[in-house]
A and B are shown apart, each in its own frame.
Chain A
Amino acid sequence: MRKVFLILILVIINNLFLSACAPKSNAAPAKAVEDYLNALVAKDSDRLTTLSCGDWEDDALLELDSFQAVTTKLDGLACSQTGTDGTTALVLCKGKIIATYNNEDQELDLSVRTYQVIQDGGDWLVCGTR
């Protein structure tokens, strides 16, 4: 039993090091927005909810509802962090959402919005747009 405890303590120490040394990448907020937009066009409401902060959840689902009647796809998506505002990361995306209804395409330019992304529980979550 003592051996088990020793192994467990070693594992915990090792893990604490690993979690502390995990890279704090600038790409993480941009990746969160890309995941969010992918969930949006896939109309995956559960995933969209897990990628939104509490305050933005209703708006995210409203946005998803607006796409329910059309088929959607992303074209040329590429997001990058452009700056910060306090604890909020600002992310700008290139590309567009193509919404098709009755063989008619409508293109929604993603570069007109800046996404606000915050960190909660270690994860980056979309929390609004500007």
Chain B
Amino acid sequence: MGLIQIGASILIALLIGTLTRAARNARMYLLLAFSILAIYWFQALLPLRSFDFWLPSLSLALVVLTWLITSPPGVWRVRQNTIGFLIIIGSVTFIDLSRYVLPEPVLTATTPPQFFQYFVFAVIVGQIIFAFTWASRRSPWAITGTIILLIIILIVLKTPALSLQMSIFFRSLANRSIENASFTDLRWLGFSYIAFRLIHVLRDKSRSHQFAHSGGERDKQMRHLPELSLPEFATYVVFFPSLAAGPIDRAERFAQDLRSDFAISQDEVLLAGQRIFLGLFKKFVVADALALIALNDSLATQVRTTGWMWISVYAYAFQIYFDFSGYTDIAIGIARLVGIKLPENFAAPYTQPNLTQFWNSWHMTLTQWFRSYFFNPFNRWMRGFKNIPAWSMILTGQVATMFLIGLWHGITLNFILWGVWHGLGLFLQNRWSDFVHRRFPDLGGNTRLQPIFQIGSILLTFHFVALGWVFFALGEPARSLMVLRKLFNLF
């Protein structure tokens, strides 16, 4: 999101918050309509013609599909769902028709496709949704199939080689030059976040159905995933402040805010304003300034001295924090203006004394997602194997989780190395902490040494994380190793 888009989002949020005082449904419908417009408006221009229209439209199709297959039969009898569906169809149609009315594209980066093309697309997508919904009424595999579909799309988008092949495929279909195809041609706005929100609902719904049949007591919160109306669900998935950079909220928490009465107050505007201002300062002043000296592929080859290399690594560590947490502050602030309290994503991560606490305070909603949907089920599954020693379970669970978190950022060797670096770090910290507690049980009681241990732990954790960024920031492992050699003067 650029400054203009942030500014417009603030104004729209203020307008929605002010106009819909205590009118819950009106607020929800307006949020849905603007969120739909926003996914088209925020979508970057792509070299594949009209893809800035087709990709957001597919996002919406996936939203409707997921909602339908996780809802009980007869949902169309509820008036709210019908209105929500008409808002979605009406908004997309309105955007498409703007090509015939507006002299320049305003809501999309390029002119939307012809109405006939849009109509054919809508009919095909409608039939696929109908087929999946029909299948879901007969077999629970439709939900699993949708999760697999979302994961496949994520893999394709996150793997440069597959993304490139997909671009070549679409270019050949459109009779375009395949020599100019690039893996960056398919930059689908917010899909990583959209997919994770959809998978969360699909997974919880499928689990709640299983437990409803089996009568199990575990994971009680899964039983409490409420039935969401279409406008509630669609607003949750494509909510405009958290579309591009999260946080990944939980559906039931978001719906609770939507269902609550909200009247914007002066205090609320002040608090939201402070948060937005803080976010803007972090992102556009601190992070953008640090970007000038932060580690990147070209700087990695230009920096000659160890001292400057450390400075560029520190600068990157703080740049990525201020950039990401700045966007989160902006999202949380804008959401407050419309009565939605998005979850926090950062809690002073660089002041944490160990890696576990770092991951409990860095991109917290992503970590919680992986904990709920991978780490905990994976550990439960591994506990079934009685012969596996505890340490190897911890090692496998932590490395596998961090490996997947690495892949979520992009399926490249460097992101994998970054994930494994943290997985191994978490394992070592776990073993070390276990060892210290067993061998030196009274160590924690020594009040004189406590501050020294605390500061030492914070510095050690920060440096471990900062060295991990060397893999994250650069494109190739060889370059990362070169930087690490320079950092430790190992020429």
Which positions in A face B, CB cutoff 8 Å?
1, 3-4, 7-8, 11-12, 15-16, 18-19, 22, 44-47, 49-50, 54, 57-58, 61, 121-123
With A and B bound together, what is the CA distance between A70 and B205 in angstroms? Answer: 57
- Chain B minimum-CB-distance residue to A49: B47
Q: What would 13 more interface pairs be, CB under 8 Å, given A19-B100, A122-B99?
A: A4-B76, A11-B93, A15-B97, A18-B97, A18-B115, A19-B97, A49-B49, A50-B47, A50-B49, A54-B175, A54-B176, A57-B177, A57-B180
Nearest chain A CB to B133 CB, angstrom units: 14
17 A-B contacts, Cβ less than 8 Å apart?
A1-B82, A15-B119, A18-B115, A19-B97, A19-B115, A19-B116, A44-B45, A50-B46, A50-B47, A54-B175, A54-B176, A54-B177, A57-B176, A57-B180, A58-B177, A61-B180, A122-B117
With A and B bound together, what is the CA distance between A123 and B77 in angstroms? Answer: 41
**Which residues from chain B contact A15 at a C-beta distance below 8 Å?**
93, 97, 115, 119
Nearest chain A CB to B437 CB, angstrom units: 56
B279 at the interface (CB under 8 A from A): no
The answer on a CB contact under 8 Å between B47 and A123 is no
Nearest chain A CB to B183 CB, angstrom units: 14
With A and B bound together, what is the CA distance between A14 and B482 in angstroms? Answer: 63
Interface size for chain B: under 10, 10 to 19, 20 to 34, or 35 or more residues?
20 to 34
With A and B bound together, what is the CA distance between A64 and B400 in angstroms? Answer: 45
With A and B bound together, what is the CA distance between A50 and B111 in angstroms? Answer: 10
With A and B bound together, what is the CA distance between A110 and B110 in angstroms? Answer: 25
The answer on a CB contact under 8 Å between B119 and A12 is yes
Residue in contact with B85 in the complex, picked from A4, A18, A50, CB distance below 8 Å: A4
With A and B bound together, what is the CA distance between A19 and B113 in angstroms? Answer: 11
Residue in contact with A45 in the complex, picked from B47, B77, B175, CB distance below 8 Å: B47
The answer on a CB contact under 8 Å between A50 and B45 is yes
- Chain B minimum-CB-distance residue to A32: B111
B226 at the interface (CB under 8 A from A): no
- Chain A minimum-CB-distance residue to B51: A50
B90 at the interface (CB under 8 A from A): yes
B25 at the interface (CB under 8 A from A): no
**Which residues from chain A contact B110 at a C-beta distance below 8 Å?**
47, 50
B60-115 contacts to A, CB under 8 A, are: 76-77, 82, 85-86, 89-90, 93, 97, 99-100, 109-111, 113-115
**Which residues from chain B contact A54 at a C-beta distance below 8 Å?**
174-177
The answer on a CB contact under 8 Å between A22 and B100 is yes
With A and B bound together, what is the CA distance between A92 and B82 in angstroms? Answer: 51
With A and B bound together, what is the CA distance between A96 and B99 in angstroms? Answer: 29
B50 at the interface (CB under 8 A from A): yes
**Which residues from chain A contact B267 at a C-beta distance below 8 Å?**
none
B33-49 contacts to A, CB under 8 A, are: 45-49
The answer on a CB contact under 8 Å between B111 and A49 is no
**Which residues from chain B contact A57 at a C-beta distance below 8 Å?**
176-177, 180
Q: A19-B116, A57-B180 are known contacts. Are A121 and B49 too (CB-CB below 8 A)? A: yes
